[in-house]
Structure formats: structure tokens, C-alpha cells
């Protein structure tokens, strides 16, 4: 077995292994410290001052979107709620105001899965009109679409995978485009894209290929 005697120069392969190990340790430590800062130490209690007075949440009528809207309101932000169901939007608006009476709420009825390009354009125009003049500092692209059940790529109906692309890619990009220029002009703001564990499964996520790709 090869060994390194005192005073002898370490072989090249040993130095390479040490360098690789040190690099991995430093990268891991950096990632951990960055997470620690984000989770516990980064100043973020006053979101309005840090980002802007308003937050926009898509898919705000159920689940994560509803929770995001309520939490942003509790943290002192006003909210713009985007959803396709007027009744649910009204219900969540009332819930937000009850949780945070000082919160101002605007709603935008927009079916992000609309298959008509003209309707997509009209929906984006309604978003632009809703945020005009507002200090929107946070955009939460939460709305998402997936398959109703697992299926091989060639078995997924056209209407299903097309809706996945429209909601997860097209609509999210267009809505971001509607609000990011104002963020850039004032030099602050944040876009939160709600992801999925399917996007990090390698080499692929079986039976949900299009959905996983859009989330990645």
C-alpha cells in the first residue's frame, strides 16, 4: 500500500483529492450559511419597506396561493389576488380583510389556462390595469396546472399538456413581464415562482414529463 513518509511530497492524486474535498466542504458550508441567513437573520419583517407596499398572488383562491395572500396581508402588505373564479376571489378577499383589516385588496379575474390568445392578452391587460400606480414589490407566481393523473407523454390529451404550458410558462412569464419593469425602475422587488419537487428528479420525472419540465 502506498504511503507518504515524513518530508516526502504528497502525490498529485492525493493533493487533488484534498482540493476536491476542501472545495466541497466550502461549498456546503456556504450553502448552509446562506440558508441560515435567509431563514433566521435576513431583515424582512417590514416587507413593505424592503420590497414594496403591494403583493400580487396568482392562483390565490385555494391552497398555497390563499395561504400566501393571507400571510402577506398579515405581514402588512396590500394584495392583488388573481384567480379564475369570481366567487372564490370574493370569499378570499373577505377572509384577507378579516385577518388584516388595514389591508387593501384588489382582484383580477383571469383564467390562466385560457386557450384563446386574445383572452390571454385581455387577462394580462386586466393585470396591468390592476397594478397601475401601485407599488408592487412581490409577485408570487403560484398558479399551476398539471395532469389529472399519471400518463405516458403520448397518452396525455392535447388540451391537458397545452394548459400546463399556458399556465406554468406562458401566463407566468406574461404576468411577470407586466410587473417586473416597475420593480426594476425603483430598484427593488422580488418574484417568487412556486416550484415542485418533480423539477429536481433526475434524469426525468416519469409520467409527468411536461409538468416537470415547466417547473424546472
β-bridge mates for residue 115, sequence order? none
146 contact partners, CB below 8 Å, separation of at least 6: 164, 208, 211
Q: For the packed helices 172-186 and 117-131, what is the interaxial angle rounded to 10 degrees?
A: 30
Active site residue 147: no
Alpha-carbon distances of 135 from 41, 92, 201, rounded to whole Å: 25, 22, 37
134: Cβ–Cβ under 8 A, 6 or more apart, which residues? 53, 54, 78, 80, 106
Task: Give the single-character DSSP code of 197.
Answer: G
Helices and strands, counts by H and E, the chain: 8, 5
> How many Cβ atoms sit within 10 Å of the Cβ of residue 79?
29
Q: 51, 147, 208, 211: which one is catalytic? A: 211
Q: Using the structure block, give the residue that is written with the C-alpha cell 441560515.
A: 36
Query: Which residues are catalytically annotated?
Result: 211
Amino acid at each position: 500500500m502506498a504511503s507518504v513518509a515524513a518530508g516526502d511530497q504528497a502525490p498529485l492524486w492525493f493533493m487533488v483529492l484534498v482540493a476536491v474535498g476542501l472545495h466541497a466542504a466550502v461549498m456546503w458550508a456556504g450553502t448552509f450559511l446562506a440558508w441560515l441567513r435567509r431563514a433566521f437573520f435576513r431583515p424582512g419583517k417590514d416587507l413593505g419597506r424592503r420590497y414594496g407596499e403591494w403583493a400580487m398572488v396568482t392562483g390565490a383562491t385555494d391552497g398555497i396561493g390563499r395561504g400566501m395572500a393571507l400571510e402577506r396581508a398579515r405581514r402588512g402588505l396590500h394584495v392583488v389576488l388573481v384567480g379564475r373564479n369570481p366567487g372564490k376571489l370574493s370569499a378570499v378577499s373577505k377572509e384577507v380583510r378579516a385577518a388584516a383589516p388595514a389591508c387593501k385588496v384588489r382582484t383580477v379575474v383571469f383564467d390562466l389556462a385560457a386557450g384563446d390568445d386574445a383572452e390571454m392578452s385581455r387577462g394580462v391587460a386586466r393585470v396591468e390595469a390592476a397594478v397601475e400606480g401601485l407599488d408592487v414589490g412581490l409577485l408570487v407566481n403560484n398558479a399551476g396546472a398539471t395532469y389529472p393523473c399519471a400518463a405516458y407523454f403520448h397518452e396525455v390529451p392535447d388540451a391537458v399538456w397545452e394548459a400546463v404550458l399556458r399556465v406554468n410558462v406562458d401566463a407566468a412569464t406574461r404576468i411577470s413581464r407586466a410587473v417586473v419593469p416597475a420593480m426594476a425602475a425603483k430598484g427593488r422587488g422580488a418574484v417568487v415562482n412556486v416550484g415542485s419537487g418533480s423539477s429536481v428528479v433526475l434524469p426525468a420525472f416519469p409520467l409527468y414529463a411536461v409538468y416537470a419540465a415547466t417547473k424546472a
